[in-house]
Structure 1
Amino acid sequence: MADMLSVIIPTYNPNETRLAKTLAGLQKQSLPLQGWELIIVDNNSSYLINADLGWHPNYKIVKETAQGLTYARLKGFKEAQGQVLILVDDDNILQEDYLQNALNTFQEQPKLGAIGGKSLPVFEGNPPAWLPEFYSSLALRDLGDEVLAASWDHKYPACAPIGAGIAIRKAALNTYIKKIETQKNVITDRKGDSLSSGGDNDIVLEILKAGWHVAYLPNLVLHHIIPAQRMEAGYMARLINNSSNSWVRLLQSHGINPWPQIAGWTVLPRKVKAWFTYMAWKNNVNYIRWQGACGTFDGLAKQ
């Protein structure tokens, strides 16, 4: 299985139309079907997943009842036979050469533990003019056309792969898997309808701390479907709030949080002050920024 690749799609109550587009993108991959397997991990959905998979000779749908994207990913890691694993969200459409490029990279660069590339938007509706400021929270990014790489430097590298389309050398996951299986306070990432995050960042940090390198590769391109609902100010505010909180707690768990903790009783007055500092009543952008600050305060509060 040295040259085998496994595509893992963790999903919870997927939209059938978007999932079909994700699968259509995989069906068009230049890497021959015999060279990779397809694993869909149903994270305890409330209905049966309906998907056309007959085109692939080596696929399976497995169920993970422990709620949380982290547990769904872990299930996929354990089920995978390949030595290269690619996590694909159920609203990602990979460019036709994605799998082949990822496999080639790992074969050519033995120190790389995880890689990612461009995640470009496909909007279902007209995006508001203010949305680009928050692209990173929607798992959208384009760092240009140069290869960027990083090793462990006691901070989170800007070029680190994002969860959408991250390709991982299976051997680099040993430390992370052991951590998830043995620790009680696990970062569960998305859980049901929650907008918490950080699971992919946790994977990257464990890979870096284990001595592997990570990289951004511009030849890894996927298109990320963004539904109209995710472009609404209310959704974005909740997303930024939850992700800011999760980000602080993630950094704390790895001992690289640059901000001091704060007393719990100061959280409310800080939020009130920030309401005026950000002029949160003025427009959607200011309100969303304020919600991000509130999430940071919650994350920094001593438990």
Structure 2
Amino acid sequence: MNKIKVSIIVCTYNRDDVIGDCLESLQNQTAGKDDFEVLIINNNSTDGTEKICSDFLNKQNNTNFKYFTEKKQGLSFARNRGIRESGGNIISFIDDDAVACKEYADEVINFFSEYKHADALGGKILPEYETGRPAWMSVFLEPIMSVIDLGDKVKEFPKNKFPVGANMIIKKEVFEKTGVFNENLGRTGKNMLGGEEKDLFYRIKNAGGKIYYSPKPWVFHQIPDSRLTKQFVKKQALGIGYSEKIRSLNTGKAEFLKSVLKETAKWFAVLLLFVFYSAGFKFSKAEMIVFFRYWVSKGFFASKL
């Protein structure tokens, strides 16, 4: 690989409450401006996001920051626009509600300098709850809040696990081999569909790609109280289930059958967790584990949402 340059892509839609924190963290990187660029992809925001980004770019000497508007609505469209506009050979995606550590770009460069055979990387994602972690939250549900912590050592991602959008990094050449994000999957506006990340990483794995975890390029993921209501979790769980149905059907009947079997098997694990938490008098955790799996299954087997 030639000299490593990181393109950090921040896709945003109506997040004027948090996008400023994200951009400020990327402005304060220890890496030199020649080593990374930041691409802001505004996906038709209707709030104050555009003004915040414009003011940020005008007031600061951010020569390595670029701003684009993607008219096609949908996160996958926005991410693919970022890939097309990028000038780096390493592509990093950070959510607009994430705050990167100041060594983020340097740590990405250090990783791919050492692990030259790696194709993709997922960094540690730590939660920053607005008013504290709710009693019903468990380590088994935190991943739905884009929380990933696999420890303090570099390792390959375990089977059936993969990086998530708040902090995922991929070699640009990988997209040329396996394709970009599936634009039939992923969030569009305020809907809660997804699956585009899982779809991409499955393609990378099936092509023999190596996907790693590293704790060093870490981010905080801001989690407001509005995302911790039962109604929000229900909407997200339904979207997760329905998106997995679409993803697996698009892949083929065998993949869909595999997903059906996996969804069924997960109920056995859920029942064990229900007993475990109930025995420890952690009833809110036990209840939410069951509700969440029920909503995912309902979404998976629904004809439409």
Q: Which amino acid aligns with 1:14?
A: R
Alignment correspondent of 1:75: 81
Q: Which runs of 5+ in 2 are unaligned?
A: 262-273, 275-282
Alignment correspondent of 2:160: 157
* Displacement of 1:285: 5.7
Structure 1 residue matching 2:188: 3-state secondary structure:
coil
Per-residue CA distance 1:129-165 (angstroms, 9 max, x = gap): 11234210110121112222159xxxx532x211111
1:139 aligns with 2:141: no
CA contact (8 A) 1:236 1:288 kept: no
1:234 aligns with 2:231: yes
Q: Which amino acid aligns with 2:29?
A: Q
* Displacement of 1:123: 1.2
CA contact (8 A) 1:74 1:177 kept: no
CA contact (8 A) 1:240 1:288 kept: no
TM-score, normalised via structure 2 length: 0.81
* Rounded Cα–Cα distance in structure 2 between residues aligned with 1:243 and 1:210: 24
Paired residue total: 275
Q: Which amino acid aligns with 1:177?
A: G
Per-residue CA distance 1:234-290 (angstroms, 9 max, x = gap): 1112112211222343344345442448xxxxxxxxxxxxxxxx9xxx968636633
Determine which of 92, 95, 99 is the counterpart of 2:98. Answer: 92
Structure 2 residue matching 1:131: 3-state secondary structure:
coil
Q: Which amino acid aligns with 1:117?
A: G
* Displacement of 1:83: 0.3
1:9 aligns with 2:10: yes
* Rounded Cα–Cα distance in structure 2 between residues aligned with 1:224 and 1:239: 17
CA contact (8 A) 2:44 2:71 kept: yes
Alignment correspondent of 2:43: 43
Q: Which runs of 5+ in 1 are unaligned?
A: 181-185, 262-277
Given the superposition, is the C-alpha separation of residues 293 and 49 from structure 1 closer, same or farther in structure 2, using an over 3 Å criterion? farther
Alignment correspondent of 1:293: 294
Comparing 37-46 with 50-59, greater Cα deviation is found at: 50-59
CA contact (8 A) 1:112 1:214 kept: yes
* Rounded Cα–Cα distance in structure 2 between residues aligned with 1:256 and 1:148: 27
1:127 aligns with 2:129: no
CA contact (8 A) 1:149 1:216 kept: yes
Structure 2 residue matching 1:190: 3-state secondary structure:
coil
* Rounded Cα–Cα distance in structure 2 between residues aligned with 1:144 and 1:176: 29
CA contact (8 A) 1:237 1:288 kept: no
1:25 aligns with 2:10: no
Alignment correspondent of 2:196: 199
Q: Which amino acid aligns with 1:108?
A: E
Alignment correspondent of 2:242: 245
Alignment correspondent of 2:271: none
* Rounded Cα–Cα distance in structure 2 between residues aligned with 1:287 and 1:107: 42
Structure 2 residue matching 1:130: 3-state secondary structure:
coil
Q: Which amino acid aligns with 1:164?
A: A
Q: Which amino acid aligns with 2:175?
A: L
* Rounded Cα–Cα distance in structure 2 between residues aligned with 1:146 and 1:113: 18
* Rounded Cα–Cα distance in structure 1 between residues aligned with 2:120 and 2:13: 24
CA contact (8 A) 1:10 1:41 kept: yes
Structure 2 residue matching 1:146: 3-state secondary structure:
coil
Q: Which amino acid aligns with 1:39?
A: L
CA contact (8 A) 1:11 1:90 kept: yes
Alignment correspondent of 1:272: none
Structure 2 residue matching 1:106: 3-state secondary structure:
helix
TM-score, normalised via structure 1 length: 0.81
Structure 1 residue matching 2:96: 3-state secondary structure:
coil
Structure 1 residue matching 2:141: 3-state secondary structure:
helix
CA contact (8 A) 1:121 1:140 kept: yes
* Rounded Cα–Cα distance in structure 1 between residues aligned with 2:243 and 2:296: 8
Alignment correspondent of 2:70: 64
- Identity across aligned pairs (percent)? 25
* Displacement of 1:14: 1.4
Q: Which amino acid aligns with 1:9?
A: V
Alignment correspondent of 2:216: 219
Q: Which amino acid aligns with 2:14?
A: N
Given the superposition, is the C-alpha separation of residues 49 and 131 from structure 1 closer, same or farther in structure 2, using an over 3 Å criterion? farther
* Rounded Cα–Cα distance in structure 1 between residues aligned with 2:208 and 2:137: 36
